Structure 1
Amino acid sequence: MAINRLEFYSEKLQMNTRVNVILPDHPKDKGKILLLLHGLHDDENSWINQTRLVSYASKTQITIIMPRADRSYYTNRDGDSQYFDYIGEEDCNVASGGLIYHVIHQIFLLLVCRWVDLVL
């Protein structure tokens, strides 16, 4: 299992933001993805720091994505942050290849290569 803390520039938010991604040890190409959203007073680290998520995740083959959304209520606001679009399009839109999907895919390839090297 790999815990990845990513910081990148979001086009939808027009600012730098962060997301945590937990990848399974032996990821499958079309594996399941779980999106965990934090509460009003928390951030992208809350699920990792305040729960047993890492322990549970180590027993599954699920990719877990935990984006930072500040105090946005995960909504779009006129003339302000577009968090709904950011979560739906940039973070998790696997079908159209969102930014986080591409980063996860690169990490996935590194993990598969590492696993193959260890097996061989």
Structure 2
Amino acid sequence: MSDEDGAAASQPAASVVPAAPVQTAPVVPAAAAAPAAPAVPAASSSVTNVYVQLPPPPAAALMPKSPALAYLAMGFSLIGLCGMQHFYLGKLGQGVLWLITFGLFGFGTVADLFTLRSQTKTINARRALGIA
């Protein structure tokens, strides 16, 4: 026995693990490749994070407004607080205008008696779509 045989006998034999096959892109001759085609990158072992921005979730439908409460709020016009029905419906500008001018000198309040139900339906339709 030589020194090399003794050294080999004292070291444990390394286990041989077969390497996994590596997939590569097919080789295309340069003449056959299209000039505008980008080169296929070789497979890499690193991971690339891709962040995708998702669309926002649909807006939740808002609770509908009640025409009865709108008419009740219009009752405050009798004591000088005109325009409360418009504040209730979310029409701030029109509410301020009614408050300052006492319901457009009463004419706007009378018109609201007939149109408040349709105004409430319009507001409810917009709220259902998430617009208001």
TM bucket, shorter chain: under 0.3
Larger Rg: 1 or 2? 2
What TM-score does the superposition give when structure 1 sets the normalisation length? Answer: 0.28
Q: TM-score, normalised by structure 2?
A: 0.26
Asked which structure has the greater RCO (Cα within 8 Å, sep 6+), the reply is: 1
Q: Which has the higher strand share?
A: 1
